[in-house]
C-alpha cells in the first residue's frame, strides 16, 4: 500500500537541511495499525522508545515528546523557564536564533540580544560579560545554525555560564533542531537545562514530532512560573511521560517510526553516528571546495549536519537545482539574504557516502556543461 503511494510520486532525494531523506523502512513503520493513546499499546511503545531517546540526548531524565515541531519547544522553553516580564539573554548568529528571539518577545519576556556575525560561532566571552551584569533568568542559543552551517561550542558556553557567580541558577536553553543525533551533545554532562529538537532533521524521520530534554533545574524553575499554557506545559508533559503517555493524542505513526529509527541509531551507536556525520561533512567540504567554491563561515566550527558554501563561482543556483531535480535530487539555496550568494548541502540523518557521491557526480555534470 505504502509502496503504491510512493510509486505515484517522483522521488526527489533530499539534500536540503530538513525535512531530510527518510528511509523506506521508516516510512513503512508509520503504516501500522492505529491504537488509542490511552491503550496499553501506547504506553508500551513510549516505554520502548524512552531509554533509547535518553541515550541519544545523553540524559537521565525521560525526554519529552509532543506532536508538533521544534518551534513548539522554542515557545515552551520560554513560557516555562522565564517568568512573565523576566529577562533572557539571546545569542543571535543566524536566521533561526533570530526567529527564536522574536518568539521570546511574543511571549512577553524581555530579551537582550548579543549579535555574532553570520558564519561565525557564538563564543562565551560576550555572553558571560553580559550575564555578569545580573538580572537574567536564562540564556538561549542555537547549537547548529542551519542557516549558516555553523555549530556553536555548547559545552564551552555552558561551562562559562556555570562558572559565573549565580551561574548555577541560570537556565541554559539550547536549540539543537539540526544538531542532536548528528552533532555531539551531552545534555547531563554539559549541564544544560533545555535541549530541543525536531524529528525531520538528523533523526531522519518525517516532520511532526518535537522532542525536548529538560533538567531538574528547569522543572524546578517551571514550578515557580504561572501561566505556562497547556500544549507545551513542561510539568504536565513530565507528569504524563512518567506513565509513558502524552497529555493529548499521541502521534502514533510518528512514534512507530521513531521506535524503529532509534533501534537503528542504537545499532550504529550515537558516537558512531556523530563520527559518520563528521566524515560526511569532510567529504562534502573536500569535494565542493575542490570545485572552487569556498566554505562559508569559520571552518573550525563547520557543522557536521549541513554545509554552507559561498557561491564564489557565481553559478545560477536555481539552474543547478533544476538540473539536480532531473536526476531526482535537490540541495538548498542560501537562506534569506544569502539566497543566490550561498548554497547548502545537508549530509545529515541517514544520507550515506554513496548518496553524496551520486550528488557530486550530478554537480560535476552540471558544472561541466
Ligand X SMILES: Cc1ncc(COP(=O)(O)O)c(C=O)c1O
Among 30, 66, 71, 236, binds ligand X (CB under 6 A): 71
Nearer to ligand X, 222 or 348 (CB): 348
Beta partners for residue 308, in sequence order: 344
Q: How far is the CB of 179 from ligand X (least distance, A)?
A: 8
Beta partners for residue 142, in sequence order: 175
Interface residues for ligand X in 245-264 (CB under 6 A)? Answer: none
Interface residues for ligand X in 169-228 (CB under 6 A)? Answer: 175, 177-178, 198
| Nearest alpha carbon to residue 164 among 141, 122, 131, 138 | 131
| Contact status: 118 vs ligand X (CB under 6 A) | no
Residues 99, 147: Cα–Cα separation, whole Å? 11
| Contact status: 150 vs ligand X (CB under 6 A) | no
Nearer to ligand X, 42 or 209 (CB): 209
Which residues make Cβ contacts (< 8 Å) with residue 148, sequence separation at least 6? 93, 94, 118, 119, 296, 297, 308, 335
- Cell 555574532, residue located: 116
Q: Which string of DSSP letters, residue by residue, matches 194-254?
A: EEEEETTSTT---S-EEEEEE-HHHHHHHTT-S---STT-HHHHHHHHTTT--SS---HHH
Nearer to ligand X, 40 or 229 (CB): 229
| Contact status: 141 vs ligand X (CB under 6 A) | no
Q: Which stretch binds ligand X (CB under 6 A): 67-75, 148-156, 279-287, 358-366?
A: 67-75
Nearer to ligand X, 175 or 360 (CB): 175
Nearer to ligand X, 209 or 256 (CB): 209
> How many residues does the structure list for the chain?
369
Interface residues for ligand X in 329-348 (CB under 6 A)? Answer: none
| Contact status: 77 vs ligand X (CB under 6 A) | no
Nearer to ligand X, 137 or 175 (CB): 175
The answer to whether the beta carbons of residues 126 and 78 sit under 8 Å apart is: no
Among 30, 59, 69, 308, binds ligand X (CB under 6 A): 69
Nearer to ligand X, 75 or 167 (CB): 75
| Contact status: 96 vs ligand X (CB under 6 A) | yes
Nearer to ligand X, 181 or 244 (CB): 181
Among 70, 251, 297, 334, binds ligand X (CB under 6 A): 70
Neighbours of 259 (CB within 10 A): 17
Q: Which stretch binds ligand X (CB under 6 A): 66-74, 119-127, 270-278, 342-350?
A: 66-74
Q: Residues touching ligand X: how many (CB under 6 A)?
A: 11
Among 46, 81, 142, 218, binds ligand X (CB under 6 A): 142
The answer to whether the beta carbons of residues 328 and 335 sit under 8 Å apart is: no
SS3 339: strand
Q: How far is the CB of 174 from ligand X (least distance, A)?
A: 10
| Contact status: 149 vs ligand X (CB under 6 A) | no
Residues 83, 221: Cα–Cα separation, whole Å? 9
Q: Which stretch binds ligand X (CB under 6 A): 68-76, 101-109, 152-160, 350-358?
A: 68-76
Which triple of cell numbers denotes residue 189? Answer: 554532562
| Contact status: 98 vs ligand X (CB under 6 A) | no
Which triple of cell numbers denotes residue 199? Answer: 524529528
The answer to whether the beta carbons of residues 84 and 109 sit under 8 Å apart is: yes
DSSP 186: -
Neighbours of 57 (CB within 10 A): 25
> 78-88 in b/e burial notation, b at 16+ Cβ within 10 A?
bbbbbeeebbb
Among 15, 18, 172, 351, binds ligand X (CB under 6 A): 18
Could you list the residues that contact ligand X (CB under 6 A)? 18, 69-71, 96, 142, 146, 175, 177-178, 198
Amino acid at each position: 500500500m505504502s509502496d503504491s503511494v510512493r510509486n505515484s510520486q517522483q522521488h526527489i532525494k533530499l539534500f536540503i537541511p530538513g525535512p531530510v531523506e527518510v528511509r523506506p523502512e521508516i516510512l513503512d513503520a508509520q503504516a501500522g495499525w492505529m491504537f488509542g493513546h490511552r491503550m496499553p499499546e501506547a504506553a508500551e511503545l513510549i516505554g520502548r522508545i524512552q531509554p533509547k531517546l535518553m541515550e541519544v540526548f545523553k540524559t537521565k531524565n525521560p525526554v519529552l515528546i509532543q506532536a508538533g515541531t521544534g518551534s513548539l519547544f522554542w515557545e515552551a522553553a520560554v513560557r516555562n523557564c522565564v517568568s512573565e516580564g523576566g529577562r533572557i539573554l539571546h545569542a543571535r548568529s543566524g536566521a533561526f536564533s533570530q526567529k527564536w528571539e522574536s518568539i521570546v518577545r511574543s511571549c512577553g519576556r524581555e530579551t537582550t540580544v548579543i549579535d555574532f556575525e553570520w558564519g561565525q560561532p557564538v563564543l562565551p566571552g560576550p555572553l558571560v560579560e553580559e550575564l555578569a551584569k545580573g538580572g537574567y533568568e536564562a540564556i538561549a542559543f542555537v547549537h547548529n545554525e542551519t542557516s549558516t552551517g555553523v555549530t556553536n561550542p555548547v559545552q564551552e558556553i555552558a561551562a562559562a555560564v556555570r562558572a559565573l557567580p549565580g551561574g548555577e541558577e541560570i537556565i541554559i536553553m539550547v536549540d539543537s533542531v539540526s544538531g542532536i543525533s548528528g552533532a555531539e551533545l551531552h545534555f547531563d554532562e554539559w549541564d544544560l537545562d533545555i535541549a530541543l529538537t525536531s524529528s525531520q532533521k538528523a533523526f531522519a524521520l518525517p516532520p511532526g514530532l518535537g522532542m525536548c530534554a529538560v533538567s531538574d533545574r528547569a522543572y524546578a524553575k517551571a514550578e515557580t512560573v504561572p501561566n505556562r499554557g497547556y500544549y507545551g506545559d513542561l510539568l504536565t508533559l513530565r507528569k504524563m511521560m512518567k506513565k509513558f503517555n502524552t497529555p493529548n493524542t499521541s502521534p502514533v505513526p510518528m512514534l512507530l517510526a521513531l521506535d524503529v529509527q532509534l533501534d537503528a541509531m542504537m545499532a550504529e551507536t550515537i558516537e558512531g553516528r556523530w563520527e559518520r556525520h563528521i566524515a560526511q561533512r569532510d567529504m562534502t567540504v573536500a569535494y565542493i571546495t575542490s570545485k572552487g567554491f569556498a566554505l562559508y563561515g569559520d571552518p573550525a566550527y563547520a557543522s557536521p549536519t549541513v554545509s554552507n558554501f559561498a557561491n564564489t563561482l557565481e553559478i545560477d543556483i536555481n539552474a543547478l537545482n533544476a538540473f539536480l531535480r532531473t536526476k531526482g535530487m535537490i540541495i538548498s539555496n542560501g537562506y534569506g539574504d544569502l539566497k543566490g550568494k550561498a548554497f547548502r548541502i545537508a549530509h545529515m540523518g541517514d544520507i550515506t557516502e554513496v548518496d553524496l557521491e551520486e550528488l557530486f557526480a550530478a554537480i560535476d555534470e552540471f558544472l561541466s556543461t
